[in-house]
Amino acid sequence: MRLHDIAVVGASGLVGRKILQVLNERKFEVGKVVPIASDASVGKEVNIQGKQYRIQKLTPEAFRNIEFAFFSAGGAVSSEWAPIAANERCLVIDNSSAFRMKDDVPLVVTEVNRADIFKHKGIIANPNCSTIQLVVVLKPLDEEFKIKRVVVSTYQSVSGAGHKGISALENEITKIDSLASRSPFPYQIAYNAIPQVDVFFDDGYTKEELKMINETRKIIGKKDLNITATCVRIPSLVGHGESVNIEFEKKVTVDDVKKLLIGSKGVKVVDNPVNNIYPMPIDSVEKDDVFVGRIRTDNSVKNGINLWIVADNVRKGAATNAVQIAEEFLKGK
Ligand SMILES: NC(=O)c1ccc[n+]([C@@H]2O[C@H](COP(=O)([O-])OP(=O)(O)OC[C@H]3O[C@@H](n4cnc5c(N)ncnc54)[C@H](OP(=O)(O)O)[C@@H]3O)[C@@H](O)[C@H]2O)c1
């Protein structure tokens, strides 16, 4: 048994802590752990797999002799420090958007494009949380029925904005801070829905919407895939929902889709509308599967299907996917 020394940048954050939890749950053979966070956390003690560690600051030396460096401290930290870690011969698995669209950086969801892992040049990017749960479902459908067009609308939980997102919702609900000044959201999120996730570009789309569009095309390997997105923040804690309308080239039935998705890796079909059974964010919490339900024909177009996708954005949308990349890398080509 060979132990793997790891660094986690952002070890005190939602995703960093979840990476450490998932590594433990999946019995990843961890040796030394270097937890790293901002100056605010340096020196604090964390317990990882029964051992006490002190959070360190970012230095090139922190990455020396480290095999895997998981980054989850935002784009600015990754842009500056991921190349430094890669230079120290770490394999960087980056949760930020800093490198996702770079041609020489693989963007990987193991159920979809595992082989791309082995094209890495030191950095592998983990896709956006909303993209991951979408492509796990789109890929098998595209292989079988050829996708013509996708329209996706998201219902994204506050944890997608990190621990500050959770605090903002909890504070607003308990009226500790009715318009939380430290909120990452532009408006009150409690009892509300905000049709803005991240900043706007000149064309009227948000950065989150463009991430979904561009990352989906890259992961599925179809540069010209017709896909459009609207991203909405809702006051759920964990688990993103997505309403997805898909037009196919080939004829397709609801049964075809169900059968295919039941046999697809990483997907669980939860679809029994007669008994009010469908996936909900609250049921996806702490699960690694991508859940699909409300599968039905869209009679307004030829070969159209509507469906509803839910996954835990902090696990499959970030931590679990990052750990799966490391696991698959170790298994080899
Ligand atoms: N939340 C999700 O669902 C999700 C899903 C996919 C991808 N991501 C991505 O994952 C990353 C982390 O997200 P999160 O939700 O975990 O955010 P978070 O809860 O706010 O955690 C951020 C982490 O980054 C650390 N950090 C901030 N500035 C730093 C600096 N200058 N140097 C070193 N560490 C620094 C923080 O340390 P302190 O605690 O010391 O401030 C904390 O550990 C982001 O890039 C995000 O886009 C998040």
Under the phi-then-psi rule, with left for phi > 0, alpha for psi from -120 to 50, and beta for the rest, what region is 263?
Answer: alpha
Q: Which residues pair with 47 in a beta bridge?
A: 52
Residue nearest to atom 17 of ligand 1 (CA): 162
Q: How far is the CA of 9 from the centre of ligand 1 (A)?
A: 8
Q: Tell me, what amino acid is at 159?
A: S
Tokens of 166: 């959770």
The string of DSSP codes covering 81-96 is: HHHHHHHTT-EEEE-S
Tell which atom from ligand 1 comes closest to the C-alpha of 73: 24
Cα angle for residues 14, 20, 21 (degrees, 5° grid): 85
Catalytic site residue from 90, 129, 163, 231 = 129
The pLDDT of residue 261 is 98
129 is catalytic: yes
Ligand 1 pocket test: pick from 42, 72, 206 the residue with the most ligand atoms within 8 Å of its Cβ: 72
**Rg of the chain on CA atoms, in Å:** 20
Q: What is the pLDDT of residue 44?
A: 95
Calculate how far, in angstroms, residue 256's C-alpha sits from the geometric centre of ligand 1: 40
pLDDT in tens, 13-51: 999 999 999 999 999 999 999 999 999 999 999 888 888
pLDDT for 181: 64
Q: What is the pLDDT of residues 229-257, one digit of tens each?
A: 999 999 999 999 999 999 999 999 999 99
Ligand 1 center–CA 51 separation, angstroms: 23
**Backbone φ, ψ for residue 245 (5° rounding):** -110, 125
Residues of the chain with pLDDT under 50: none
- Asked if residues 217 and 139 have their Cβ atoms less than 8 Å apart, the reply is no
Give alpha helix (H) positions in the chain: 14-25, 75-87, 110-113, 129-145, 163-173, 207-220, 254-262, 281-284, 320-331
- Strand partners of residue 94: 71, 125
Q: Is 120 a catalytic residue?
A: no
Among 21, 56, 95, which residue has the most ligand 1 atoms within 8 Å of its CB, making it the best to mutate?
A: 95
Question: What is the 214 CA–ligand 1 centroid distance (Å)?
Answer: 22
Domains for the chain: give ranges and CATH numbers.
4-127+318-331 (3.40.50.720), 130-312 (3.30.360.10)
**Residues whose beta carbon lies within 6 Å of some atom of ligand 1:** 9-16, 36-38, 40-41, 58, 72-75, 77, 95-96, 129, 159-160, 162-164, 313-314, 317-318
Q: What is the pLDDT of residue 296?
A: 98
How far apart are alpha carbons 302 and 299 in whole angstroms? Answer: 7
Q: Please give the full DSSP string across 165-219, using - where no structure is assigned.
A: HHHHHHHHHTTSSTT-TT-SSSS--TT--BS-SS-B-TTS-BHHHHHHHHHHHHH
Which residue among the candidates 90, 120, 231, 240 is catalytic per the annotation? 240
pLDDT at 47 (0 to 100): 86
